[in-house]
Amino acid sequence: MAIVFNEIGYFKDPSPGSLPPDYQEFLLSLAGPTVIDISGQDTSRCRVITSLLHGNEPSGLIAIHRWLTSADKLVKPITNIRFILGSPEAASLAPLLSHRYLPGGKDLNRCFGSGKNSGYYLRANLIADAISQVSPEIVVDLHNTSGSGPAFAVCHGITANVLSLSSFFCETIILSAIRLGALLEQDFSCPTITVECGGCNDEFAHELAYEGICHILACETTRYFHQEREVEVVYQPHRLRLREDINLSYGGQNSGFHGVTLKADIEQYNFTGARKGEVLGWLDHNRLNNLQLTDEHGTDIIGEYFCVSGHRLLCAADMRIFMATTIKDIAINDCLFYVIKTGH
């Protein structure tokens, strides 16, 4: 498939009947990145909701399509709304909604703010421009985690508005200092959050995205957002990654594989966290050298978090775990999971 990087499709106020009633058909009707503008009651203001930067994360697409084709649309949003869908080509590649990005392509959500202007970097720039253009009062970027887990938001700066915006979707927000080239890291001069709605295949994640969108559309002002529920702030988790060319397996016991073996049910720790002494997997003779974990200054902190006994990979502290996945490709290329110590 030839990818066109310098174009964005555009719809304005599409009527519910003009769109395919099924979200998969809707997705297949999109040729590339797409902006959908909806006129609000107050057309001097705009809110931006982006999704599908990752082609295998459907909750935002499903929720946006549901709103676009539903009777709820008869209620005009308070402000103008700009929906942006980032990677329909990757999402459309069979099997549908299974590719984070196209084979041989780049992860679009690692291409923002690069200073480069071709290929996927150009697409990221066009999306960032499409956001800045409307001087949004908020930006929400909807994602799913690869593995199953509760929803959480991510931000790069905590303000009252960021907290209340997050409370429309979830009860946890991660304050991140990690710079990866994500949309979230760009400065749109307004509260900007990513919402990880839950797992790609979790029905509750699609529902949560939809409820959150409806809430944003119906909310009078971003200045006096009320907080829907308590939101817990989690400070600066770290990315646990494999070192280069290390083999990854999943299993229920030490099978003597090279490299790292994670427990097959590693995703459960997204819900429960892990206690000091908990076994998360098994390591070969290279022990902790198979893994890398650094803090925001680049200091190696693997020993603060993990230890080895026999070949078992053990938690050296109580910790929260986010985004653990058994999708090997993502675990290898992105990270095994995010961790942060809890208590002392």
Contact footprint for Zn ion (CB under 5 A): 54, 57, 143
311 CB-contact burial (10 Å; exposed 0-12 / middle 13-18 / buried 19+): middle
Task: Using DSSP, state whether 220 is helix, strand or coil.
Answer: coil
C-alpha 194/C-alpha 179 separation (Å) is 14
Whose Cβ is closer to Zn ion: residue 114's or residue 254's? 114
In the complex, minimum distance from the CB of residue 82 to Zn ion, in angstroms, rounded to a whole number: 19
| Nearer CB in complex with Zn ion: 143/239 | 143
Q: Are strands 172-175 and 152-155 parallel, antiparallel or unpaired?
A: parallel
Q: How far is the CB of 142 from Zn ion (least distance, A)?
A: 9
Prior bond of 20 cis (ω within 30°) = no
Query: Phi/psi class of residue 191: alpha, beta or left (left: φ > 0; alpha: ψ in -120 to 50)?
Result: beta
54 versus 123: smaller Cβ distance to Zn ion:
54
Structural element, H or E, at residue 141: strand 139-145
- Residue 141 Cβ, how far from Zn ion at the closest point, in Å? 8
CB 109 to Zn ion: min, Å: 6
Question: What's the CA gap between 198 and 202, in Å, rounded?
Answer: 6
CB of 273 to Zn ion, least distance (A): 22
Q: In angstroms, rounded to a whole number, what is the distance separating the alpha carbons of residues 130 and 126? A: 6
Shortest separation between residue 57's beta carbon and Zn ion, angstroms: 5
Place of tokens 């190696």: 300
DSSP single-letter state for residue 4: P
Q: Which is nearer to Zn ion, 108 or 163 (CB)?
A: 108
Q: Would you say 54 or 156 has its CB closer to Zn ion?
A: 54
Residue 35 makes CB contacts below 8 A (sequence gap 6+) with 8, 9, 10, 11, 82, 83, 84, 130
Least distance (Å) between residue 200 CB and Zn ion: 9
Residue 162 or 182: the one with the smaller Cβ distance to Zn ion is 182
* CA dist., res. 87 & res. 93, Å (int): 10
Query: Phi, psi at residue 264, to the nearest 5°?
Result: -65, -25
CA 71 to chain CA centroid, Å, is 28
Q: Which is nearer to Zn ion, 197 or 248 (CB)?
A: 197
By C-beta, is 139 or 313 nearer to Zn ion? 139
Give the type of residue at 203. E
Min CB(184)–Zn ion separation in Å: 10
